[in-house]
Copies of this chain bind each other. A is one copy, B any other.
């Protein structure tokens, strides 16, 4: 948990016309008008290292970000140090919306890998709602989707056994990674530690280890090379009793 300050990279800036996300089947394409607007809405790019804290719980001045590349996670910490990971972010995900809308962030975000983020000014979100109702709708779509994911996590933590939970989480992460383009048949390692898994599932690290061992023994996952490799996503989903909702082209900003 390095507490690195994000580096504001003066360096390159991807313009939206060449946004790598737009090329993927999974994402909706902008029309020219929208693209121009988003291009203007974007104020810069942020590059961070693994372990950097992008957003801090309690912040009032957080920016709004779209993750362009890398893995991150959202979490909350209690006063006595107990940590709960709420969700993970992959390319295309929006970070910091809560702060832009309600004024204050109530969770933190940390990088699991080097990240590239598009930076938007939170003060201009109102303007976006006025000028581009279609983009405003997309933002709401993204918020509704996050809510749906949290619903699923809640079901998982509340009602599934440790074994089912672990299977669900890894199927979920693998799927997200695949669709967002960050996992490929070559690079298919989800960069998490067992501590992350434990803090996501609400389990102790020891029990998490023993649970993951069972999945390894069944050759459904492999551990190492800095993370987890999912070997049989479908089998994992089946163990969890999780029906992956199929997703058409999703919007992003």
Q: Report which A residues bind B (CB closer than 8 A).
A: 74, 76, 78-80, 82-84, 86, 97-98, 101-102, 104, 106-107, 125-126, 129-130, 133-134, 136-137, 139-141, 143-148, 150-155, 157-160, 199-202, 241, 245
Contact = CB atoms under 8 A, between A and B. Distances in A.
Nearest to A137: B129
Contacts of A160: 82
Rank and list the top 8 A-B pairs by shortest CB-CB distance, nearest first.
A158-B202, A150-B150, A129-B133, A101-B144, A143-B143, A84-B155, A82-B159, A84-B158
17 contacts: A82-B159, A84-B154, A84-B155, A86-B154, A97-B144, A101-B137, A101-B140, A101-B141, A104-B245, A106-B148, A129-B134, A133-B136, A136-B137, A136-B140, A143-B147, A150-B151, A158-B200
B159 A158 contact: no
A200 B155 CA distance: 9
Contacts of A74: 151
Interface SS of chain A: helix
Contacts of A241: 78-80
A201 to B, nearest CB: 7
A99 to B, nearest CB: 9
Contact of A144 (B86, B130, B143): B143
Given A133-B136, A136-B133, A241-B79, A147 B150 contact: yes
Contacts of A79: 241
B158 A157 contact: yes
Contacts of A107: 151
Contacts of A86: 151, 154-155
A221 to B, nearest CB: 21
Nearest to A106: B148
Nearest to A141: B101
B98 A148 contact: yes
Nearest to A198: B158
Nearest to A151: B86
